[in-house]
Structure 1
Amino acid sequence: MYTMFSTALKQAYENSLINRNFVEFVKLPKVTKKEMRILSLSEEQKLLTTIKASDERYKIGILICLCTGIRVGELCGLQWRDIDEVTHVLSIRRTLNRLPAMDQSKRKTELVIGIPKSDKSIRDIPLPSFLIDDLKAYKAQRDKEKVAAGDIYDERGFIICNEIGRPIEPRTMEDVFKRLLISAGVANANFHAMRHTFATRAVESGVDIKTLSELLGHADVSTTLNRYAHSLDEQKRKAMALMEGLYQ
């Protein structure tokens, strides 16, 4: 917001509409970083076990996020054409979010399909084979619903959808996540914790930071470094421990 106001008022000053760019006198408050909630290995395993046993309709969405680290808006915007069953690659090309309605005389908010937040957010993510198998089984169920619904079925092909093919909004997925956490006996966490957990597990598994940044769709590698420095520090310690014998 500071940058946008500053740019706008700078242009207004250059156009002689105002006599100063007053944003120059604004001092931004210090940013306090919130501690990230990351699921431990045991918590993640409990959640995975619960997902497999659950009859939650949209549980596949939670599994996708755990395995890929995608954002909830990206999840809700996924369509079947975004998955290549041959190469096992998931393409992130759009997001779906509930935003303030353009015409608020009819409704306060509306579901909006948009483009990802940055160019780097448009990305391809390889999927594990077991997830492809789960998605095939899930699609078979949705195909049966499509036949039963007939002409009223939404033909856009959203992966996470209701009985007539219409997309599910992020808040619904967040509620599903909360219920699964409770069933698994895992302490409360927000939906974004799955993204942090994916990134942490990736670092723990030895994934290099550049690759992880691309998988997460971060606009800059520095974003990934800043957020997951704690995990990288642990990896450095392990690496140095492995080398101890060389110098004794």
Structure 2
Amino acid sequence: MKFIKGHELEMLFLTAIDTGLRQGELFALTWKDIDFDNACINVNKTYKTVRNIDTGKYEGIIQTPKTNNSIRVVPIPTHLINKLKQYRLSQKKLKLKMANLYHDNNLVFCNEFGNHLDSSNILKKFKKILTAAGIENRKFHDLRHTYATRLFELDENPKTVQNLLGHSNISITLDTYTHVLDKMKEKVASKLNDLYVNMGVK
């Protein structure tokens, strides 16, 4: 958090950490998808780069998520709402500055010309931040894992975590976060022990 402060991609990283959206979902996100009044994001599409069979070139496409569960509503914490509002204002100023060079796709996260972000470029910048912060090499997807881990640490129900992450079934959530859930089991055992101590049971 300290090392992304003031970075050009600060809001992208913050939103990933605070909502658990996949990279493709973040890249496809438009301002229309953000409901500031109800403090939530409507996740309904994803962006990916594919190779055109005819030309051999790679091009970006917008798709609907693979499963119905991926189409979901994710709540936004208050501190992120305020930052997103400020970010939108700065983006509007950039549009005016770039004038005709800016392609207004109404994207929340885009390059200086208003176009979709490039995943390889984002990864390079992400790794530079990790190096500067002294954190071992991670993938962008690990920001999503951080979000889920925090939810479990806050004792959130696994079914709720599944819905927020957009997993197709609960087993994916449980299998992915087995290590976190094991720690939570230890926490439960400790709580039970404290309960019996308070009850005077030996």
- TM-score over 0.5 for the alignment? yes
The CA distance in 2 between the partners of 1:114 and 1:50, in whole Å, is: 33
Determine if the alignment matches structure 1 residue 49 to structure 2 residue 9: no
Give the match for residue 98 of structure 1.
49
Give the match for residue 147 of structure 1.
96
The offset of 1:84, in angstroms, is 0.9
The offset of 1:155, in angstroms, is 2.5
Give the match for residue 58 of structure 1.
9
The offset of 1:173, in angstroms, is 2.2
Give the match for residue 179 of structure 1.
128
Determine if the alignment matches structure 1 residue 215 to structure 2 residue 156: no
The CA distance in 2 between the partners of 1:91 and 1:180, in whole Å, is: 29
Identity of aligned residues (%): 35
Question: Bigger radius of gyration, 1 or 2?
Answer: 1
The CA distance in 1 between the partners of 2:104 and 2:151, in whole Å, is: 36
Give the match for residue 190 of structure 1.
139
Question: For residue 214 of structure 1, what is the amino acid of its counterpart?
Answer: N
Question: For residue 50 of structure 2, what is the amino acid of its counterpart?
Answer: L
The CA distance in 2 between the partners of 1:116 and 1:59, in whole Å, is: 25
The CA distance in 1 between the partners of 2:91 and 2:178, in whole Å, is: 41
The CA distance in 2 between the partners of 1:193 and 1:151, in whole Å, is: 37
Question: For residue 73 of structure 2, what is the amino acid of its counterpart?
Answer: D
Output aligned runs, 1:227-242, within 5 Å.
227-242=176-191
Give the match for residue 167 of structure 1.
116
Q: Aligned with 2:3: secondary structure? A: helix
The offset of 1:152, in angstroms, is 4.1
Give the match for residue 77 of structure 1.
28
Q: RMSD between aligned alpha carbons?
A: 1.5
Q: Aligned with 2:4: secondary structure? A: helix
The CA distance in 2 between the partners of 1:158 and 1:83, in whole Å, is: 11
The offset of 1:217, in angstroms, is 0.5
Is the 1:95–1:116 contact (alpha carbons within 8 Å) kept by the matching residues of 2? yes
Question: For residue 175 of structure 1, what is the amino acid of its counterpart?
Answer: K
Is the 1:96–1:169 contact (alpha carbons within 8 Å) kept by the matching residues of 2? no
* Structure 2, gaps ≥5 residues long: none
Q: Aligned with 1:154: secondary structure? A: coil
Question: For residue 67 of structure 1, what is the amino acid of its counterpart?
Answer: D
Question: For residue 65 of structure 1, what is the amino acid of its counterpart?
Answer: A
Give the match for residue 87 of structure 1.
38
* Structure 1, gaps ≥5 residues long: 1-47
Question: For residue 54 of structure 2, what is the amino acid of its counterpart?
Answer: D
Is the 1:71–1:192 contact (alpha carbons within 8 Å) kept by the matching residues of 2? yes
Give the match for residue 107 of structure 2.
158
The CA distance in 1 between the partners of 2:66 and 2:10, in whole Å, is: 25
The CA distance in 2 between the partners of 1:227 and 1:134, in whole Å, is: 30
After superposition, give the CA deviation of every residue in 1:86-120 in whole Å (9 maximum; x if it has no partner).
1110111111111111422xx42111111112110
After superposition, give the CA deviation of every residue in 1:122-171 in whole Å (9 maximum; x if it has no partner).
11110111111111111111101112233443232011112221111222
Determine if the alignment matches structure 1 residue 109 to structure 2 residue 58: yes
